[in-house]
Amino acid sequence: GFNRYRHLRQTLGEHEKSNSHIESVKIYIAHKQRKTIETMLFEKQLEIRKKEIIERRKILSAIIDVIKLIGKQGLAIRGTEEGAYSLDDISINHGNFLEILLLLSNYDETLGKHVKSVTEKSKYALEERGKSGKRGRGNQITFLSKTTVTKIINIMKLTIQTEIANEVKQAKLFSVLMDTTMDVSSYDQCVIVLRYLLEREVKERVIGLKCVQSTTGESLFNTLLKILSTTGLAVENCVANAFDGASNMSGEYNGVSSRLMNIIPNHLHTWCYAHVLNLVISDTAQCLPATLSLFGLLQQTQVFLKDSHKRLSVYLHQNRRVRLAAIGATRWRSRSDATTKMFGRFHYWFDSEVTGKTSQSETVFVSLVMTLCIIGNSKEFNPKVRNEANNTLLQKFMSFETIMVAMMFLLIFKITTLLSDYLQTKNLDYAQAWRLVSVAQNELRDARDKFDQVVNASKRFASVMSNKLNEKIEEDSSLEMESLCIDPELPCKRIRKIKKMSGELTEDDEINFSEEDRFRIIFLCCY
């Protein structure tokens, strides 16, 4: 204790200068600041390390954002030259990933310093390896290599799969959609989509994309089970599927659907109605020579103009607003879009009031015909091109049969396109879908009785477009033609007579059908 209060001031001064007091104060301050022995000994080094961690996290955050951007835009990541020692060479294509990072490094000081440091270290390491004869990049940590990018992508994949799996577990029941397709590298890719209801909202999420070596029902079924097992989802909770009609998917004995039904007795299989509808339309477009001729003509015309910038410029001079649509093998709407762009919509020509209000901008028919006329009569093009424009494409477009087939399909597309679009919507109402399917079936049956409307619409189209074409020709003095008219009716075709055999006395009864009736029988298979 202390009891010498007379010399208190002197005694306190001596105590404050003592080593024990000074050490006790340091320990108290360290305790208040919660510093450890390592912190007190290596404070500067720890501050530097903390700063490096913050900078590296910032760099990694930028790298992750770039990878997300590339994935969102569907771009390729890799390039022809990805070595860090060549990052300062702007003449080299380093790929989308590195090029975007190099662009960001111009505006971000931290990222810029990192790229510069990585480039210099990589160059030095390359020189040292050249001297020693060793191979490889050494033990550099750049965050820019393909290995790092692949790790980040795999982490993203697992994070997304886990999030989707948690939502599916919350929803409990789900259905599966599954299909395969070949990519540009000729590998067969299998995509698996889960559909479930969460908080009164229908969600569809891609849970897996796998490269498959075999597309048999057993192989695809095992792929599905592996994906579900990896994500922790029970196959017993899969209550339905929506596959196409391929035997490996919907086969009665060995298809994926039948294997699911063996595990889950109450499992439901639904053949995708949008797929069925579009297969029917695709087959319909190829069942008759007249339909093949129409869609072949539309595709041939698009290729004819697209393959030459000189021909395309002639068309763009006539119409810059609307480009011709190509017809794809797997793009279901392509036939409807191409026909509608060329000939307009059916009600434009069936309804006389609408026809009077229809402007030329709603169809490219006049622009295209004028383009073919200019190309066919211009000496700037070679004879082969002029002959194709005049005698192949233009003659078919001026044929009344082409117009009638187009009008018939416009009537069909008026019914099927709306149904097809609805069947592919995200939040589909099954009851409404069934009603629309039933209505479409009835309307398609009724369309067979609307042939007279098709004929009237075709004649109105031919009359209106002929007038517009003649107005265009009068305005353009460079064209060496007086008029241009679409055929107002079907041409009379010679009736083929059957040769009589020797001694034959009977004669075939002559059936006097009009050309419209003959077209009706051939096109609609009814009379």
Q: Which contiguous run of DSSP H or E holds residue 242?
A: strand 238-243
**String of b and e for 438-462 (b: at least 16 CB within 10 Å)?**
eebeebeeebeebbebbbebbbbbb
Q: What CATH fold (topology level) applies to the domain 151-271?
A: Nucleotidyltransferase; domain 5 (3.30.420)
Q: How far apart are CA 233 and CA 172, in angstroms?
A: 9
Q: Which of 83, 60, 59 shows the shortest CA–CA distance to 137? A: 83
Contact 162, 168 (CB under 8 A): no
Q: Which of 259, 376, 281 shows the shortest CA–CA distance to 334? A: 281
Residue 469: what pLDDT?
86
Q: How far apart are CA 345 and CA 334, in angstroms?
A: 15
What does the domain layout of the chain look like in residue ranges? 7-34, 40-132, 151-271, 279-475
Q: Which residue in this structure is represented by tokens 């060496």?
A: 480
Two structure tokens written together for 188: 């067969």
H helical segments located in 43-90: 43-73
Q: Which residue in this structure is represented by tokens 């990018």?
A: 149
In this structure, which amino acid lies at residue 281?
I
Q: How far apart are CA 423 and CA 433, in angstroms?
A: 7
Q: Classify residue 82 by its DSSP letter.
A: -
**String of b and e for 383-417 (b: at least 16 CB within 10 Å)?**
eebbebbeeebbebbbbbbbbbbbbbbbbbbbbbb
Q: How far apart are CA 297 and CA 398, in angstroms?
A: 12
Residue 360: what pLDDT?
44
Q: How far apart are CA 125 and CA 153, in angstroms?
A: 28
Q: Classify residue 325 by its DSSP letter.
A: P
Residue 508: what pLDDT?
60
Q: Tell me phi and psi for residue 128, to 5 degrees.
A: -65, -40
Q: How far apart are CA 352 and CA 458, in angstroms?
A: 12
Contact 243, 271 (CB under 8 A): yes
DSSP 474-503: HH-TTS--S-----SSPPPPPPPPPPPPTT
pLDDT by residue for the chain (527 residues), tens only, comes to 566 666 777 777 777 888 888 888 877 776 666 666 666 666 678 788 888 899 999 999 999 999 999 999 988 888 888 888 888 888 888 889 999 999 999 999 999 999 998 888 888 888 877 776 666 555 677 888 888 899 999 999 999 999 999 999 999 999 999 888 888 788 889 999 999 999 888 888 999 999 998 888 889 999 999 999 999 999 999 999 888 777 888 887 888 888 898 888 888 888 777 878 888 877 777 778 888 888 899 999 999 999 889 999 989 888 888 888 888 766 668 888 889 889 988 887 876 555 545 444 478 898 899 899 889 888 888 999 999 988 889 899 998 889 999 999 999 898 888 888 888 887 778 789 889 989 999 998 888 888 888 888 888 898 888 888 888 888 776 666 667 788 888 877 766 666 777 776 666 655 666 777 777 877 776 43
